[in-house]
Amino acid sequence: MFHDKTLDRLNRMLDDGIAGRFSESDYDESKISRLESKWKHYLVQSSLSKKNLDRERENIKGMISDISHQTKTPMTNIRMYSELLKEHLQEKSDRTGAGLAEEIIRQTEKLDFLIQCLTKLSRLESGTVNVFPKNNSLFDLLNDAVGSIKPKSENKKISVTFSVEKSVSACFDMKWTKEALGNILDNAVKYSPEGSRITVEVKNYEMYAEVIVRDEGRGIPEDEIPKIFGRFYRGTDVRDEEGVGIGLFLAREIIKRENGYIKVNSVVGEGSAFSVFLKK
């Protein structure tokens, strides 16, 4: 009987700890056994650790928000003044100066993109932003993601088409999955020649929906495929291209948090196919 009562108390203490409602004052050490006392000490420390972790997470969240907010104004001002400088130099027929101003604008946009990516990545990795998968339309996802890269694809005269039945759905977070798919599509446009095609199609399986992005770009060497999802990784033949090497890393992290995964098939000189598997 004594052992049963002790086990019941230990079980209640553990349940309270798991549920996050453990309170040291609920357990009088003078009335419990040595084992229960040790168990109480462990749960008190665990509870304090959780509170410290939650506090640290809130601090990180605040810091990331501050960095994101504080960089917006100077970045906007640099871009605005660069545009004014470019116009002024063009009016004076200073092509060299206008070209330098154009380069400042380009580098500013690149830095702004990097800050945005790092902010999103920091929020994901620190757990300050959660991905909430739910049943969503794949047609809506593809329509939004393809639309997001339309200006870039039209600038290179690249045809981007997608096909999916409107009834097909999967379990994913619309906002973050659009970000992931948009990063894959952006890479496809970036590394594809002018006048080529990019197609997006969906294959519907029992457990997963597969979203396939195919391009006619330069392709990826086989030995580099395992590396392309690394943070800041740039392939040896694309280092002169615009980019920071974080888009695919971010895409994989997002899809992984939705219990999905990404596969890649590629042939150098023929193109690549990125398959995003979303849980049904």
Spans of all domains in the chain: 1-129, 134-279
Architecture of the domain defined by 134-279: 2-Layer Sandwich (3.30)
Q: Which residue do the tokens 């097909």 mark?
A: 168
Q: Specify whether the CB–CB gap between 249 and 180 falls below 8 A.
A: no
Q: Specify whether the CB–CB gap between 133 and 175 falls below 8 A.
A: no
Q: Specify whether the CB–CB gap between 266 and 273 falls below 8 A.
A: yes
What pLDDT, on the 0 to 100 scale, is given for residue 50? 60
Return the amino acid letter for 265: N
**CA nearest neighbour of 245 among 150, 121, 127, 158:** 121
Return the amino acid letter for 178: K
What pLDDT, on the 0 to 100 scale, is given for residue 72? 75
Beta bridge pairs of residue 268:
none
Query: CA-CA distance, 111 to 109, in Å (whole number)?
Result: 5
Which backbone phi and psi does 187 adopt, to 5 degrees? Answer: -65, -40
CA distances from 186 to 8, 201, 202 (A): 57, 16, 18
Side-chain-side CA neighbours of 84 within 13 Å: the count stands at 6
What pLDDT, on the 0 to 100 scale, is given for residue 1? 46
Beta bridge pairs of residue 272:
266
What pLDDT, on the 0 to 100 scale, is given for residue 195? 93
What pLDDT, on the 0 to 100 scale, is given for residue 25? 53
Query: CA-CA distance, 202 to 213, in Å (whole number)?
Result: 9
| pLDDT tens series, the chain, 280 aa | 445 666 666 567 666 655 655 555 555 554 445 555 555 566 556 665 566 556 666 666 666 666 666 777 777 888 888 888 888 888 888 888 888 888 888 888 878 877 777 777 776 666 656 789 999 999 999 999 999 999 999 999 999 999 998 889 999 999 999 999 999 999 999 889 999 999 999 999 999 999 999 999 989 888 888 888 887 666 666 555 555 567 888 899 899 989 999 999 999 989 999 999 999 9
- Taking residue 18's Cβ as centre, other Cβ atoms within 10 Å add up to 11
What pLDDT, on the 0 to 100 scale, is given for residue 204? 93
What pLDDT, on the 0 to 100 scale, is given for residue 80? 87
What pLDDT, on the 0 to 100 scale, is given for residue 119? 75
Side-chain-side CA neighbours of 56 within 13 Å: the count stands at 8
